[in-house]
Amino acid sequence: EKKDAARREAARRIATEEEELEKSSDRRKEWDGLVRILQAQGLTVREIRPDGDCLYNAVADQFKEAGQPLHSGSDLRRLTSDYILSHKDDFMPFLCHADTGEGFSSEQFFSYCNEIANTRTWGGHLEIEALTSVLQCTIEVYQANGPVLEFGEKHNGSVLRLCYHRHEYGLGEHYNSVINSATEHQ
């Protein structure tokens, strides 16, 4: 009994310490800042599973929220890859090796597009640009420490809202869907 009580007490202390650490963490600060920004506009976060498909699933969630479940996350991956492949000259100058800064070769470019379509490789700025063109929409990306980024402003279609988290998960960056606060409570 004494050992069990000691284990419970140790577990309680660890949980309290983790809770205090969480309050002061970059993750918590980012989350709180983002929530303040969104609440001021009557918006809230709808969490998307952190599985490498978060960008594509967040975009799919936006269409579902609008009553237009047009594409799944995997459909959006393929559409993005196809668009980038067919607009090589627009995207190739922005692709380089993180280690060396050297631009991609044609072979590496095709490999990159294949990864977009067939793996859970993370999507970012270039993929969002491609998505706005494929879907003929604007994508607004909210972030805690910066302005709202607008992609595809030239398109007259839907406005999709995502939020970007630098510190959400241990694996790194993440996208969630942004919805009207009133919708969350329905």
Q: Which residues are catalytic?
A: 51, 54, 174
Residue 65: exposed, middle, or buried by beta-carbon count in 10 A (0-12, 13-18, 19+)? middle
